[in-house]
Amino acid sequence: MARPVFIVDGSRTPFLKARSGPGPFTPVDLAVQCGRPLLARQPFAPDSFDQVILGCVNVIADEMNPARVAALRLGMGEDMVAFTVQINCGSGMQSIDTAYRYIREGHADMILAGGTEALSHAPLVWPNAGVRWFAGLATAKGVAAKIASAFKLRPRYLKPIIGLERGLTDPVTDLNMGQTAEVVGHLFGITRAQSDAYAAESHRRLAHAQGAGFLKGEVETAFSRDGKFFDHDDGVRPDSTPESLAKLRPVFERPWGQVTAGNSSQITDGASWIILASDAAVAKHKLTPKAVIVDSHWAALDPSIMGLGPVMSVTPLLTRNDLTIKDVETWELNEAFATQVLGCLAAWNDDKFCREILGLDGAAGEIDRDRLNVDGGAISLGHPVGTSGNRIVLHLVNAMKRLGTRRGVATECIGGGLGGAMLIEAV
């Protein structure tokens, strides 16, 4: 029989907006910054875990398999098995899901699952023509051949390309993520005014959560090597209004597009961890679980409408568990783009879409906005790609505890045409 899997505790770093140049922390630095206080407050030693699983998309050259590097730096012992998972925006949730399945099937009792990303450290890459020139120069034999090869240099060969731009462009459809959000918005008639209003509300909610202390115990202060400290998500703009956001120009589809820098998620650095345990581990270490993972589901769809991934993953998850949208009291839907979030809400409330695409008897229903992303989301705090799936589960659990709700869903769209969803119940 499948065993229950509990979420015991978790923490994350502040999400730090990428500005000019690499930020103060690498992916492993971030994982260690929030991992140390999390492990320090546990009633068991760091080497008590069975394994460590960490989501990360933009792994840097100095930190191959960042899960293992982080585990060693966290003092979890040389015997600790640790591996890194990558499923684009879903990586942080995939780490939880993989751990959940290991524990559920009896192959482990306690796992540290996380996500980390330092998008400010995304590398610059050479154009392919430049790479070929360097290769020709390196392999040329003799002085004459090397001189001849050197004279083939063209200035454009030395113009670097931001690797992140390539990473955020789908290689099959050749659409970047913002363009896929435009497609979803067009399909469901989402307006620019609606997107800007949603984005302004995200900032308002995060600013309120910070001021009210709702993030205490979740966000750990990070300390850089030069002595600076970072104690809050610094991308929040509490003065954002629909009117101020309306002044921004479209980024991806000018002049008529509606996706702007103001109603999109921010390029950000951050990390998050969650401790998962079996009932045996809970009893052994006298732990107090916060929630139990009920089920999870992954789905795939056309990459050009990847923003509808939450709809395609949540719907079968709820159906399998005999639930409807109205049965879920708290939602975390990662805010890749305001247009994309609103498109998902519209899809669930569209009778034709639900019948023809989802196989339902009619519209799934409308999600109460007071239940959705109650403390803001990626538009206001950022979207470190490999981390966000972990953060939304962590915050969902904490929000459910604060609000006294029983059932919650965390879900996200995933670049490449995927979606992931997790059903959580409070204990």
Please report which residue ranges of 265-308 form alpha helices under DSSP H: 279-285
Global pTM reads 0.94
pLDDT digits 0-9 by tens, 216-227: 999 999 999 999
CA dihedral sign, ordered 209, 213, 214, 215 = positive
Q: CA nearest 118: which of 200, 52, 201, 19? A: 19
- Provide the pLDDT for residue 106: 97
For range 92-104, the mean pLDDT: 98
CA dihedral sign, ordered 168, 54, 333, 324 = positive
Percent of the chain with pLDDT over 90: 90
With beta carbons less than 8 A apart as the criterion, state whether 38 and 11 touch: yes
Distances, alpha carbon 400 to alpha carbons 10, 288, 291, 301, 392, in Å? 14, 15, 9, 30, 12
- Provide the pLDDT for residue 414: 97
Coil, strand or helix at 85:
strand
Phi, psi of 280 (to 5 degrees): -65, -40
Q: Does the pLDDT of residue 164 top 80, yes or no?
A: no
Whole-number Å distance between alpha carbons of 274 and 370: 26
| Three-state helix/strand/coil letters over 215-268 | CCCCECCEECCCCCEECCCCCCCCCCCHHHHCCCCCCCCCCCCCCCCCCECCCE
- In this structure, what token pair is assigned to residue 139? 């392999």
Whole-number Å distance between alpha carbons of 154 and 198: 47
Active-site positions read 89, 383, 413
Q: DSSP letter string over 127-187?
A: -HHHHHHHHHHHH--SHHHHHHHHTT--GGGG--EEHHHHHTB-TTT--BHHHHHHHHHHH
Whole-number Å distance between alpha carbons of 287 and 281: 8
- In this structure, what token pair is assigned to residue 140? 């040329």
Helices and strands: H and E segment counts in the chain = 15, 14
Whole-number Å distance between alpha carbons of 215 and 230: 14
- Provide the pLDDT for residue 75: 98
pLDDT digits 0-9 by tens, 30-89: 999 999 999 999 999 999 999 999 999 999 999 999 999 999 999 999 999 999 999 999
Q: Which amino acid is at 362?
A: G
For range 166-180, the mean pLDDT: 88
- In this structure, what token pair is assigned to residue 417? 């045409």
Find the distance separating the first CA and the last CA of the chain, reported in whole Å.
20
For range 189-202, the mean pLDDT: 97
Phi, psi of 329 (to 5 degrees): -90, -25
- In this structure, what token pair is assigned to residue 30? 């971030």
Indicate the burial class of 21 (C-beta count within 10 angstroms; 0-12, 13-18, 19 or more).
Answer: exposed
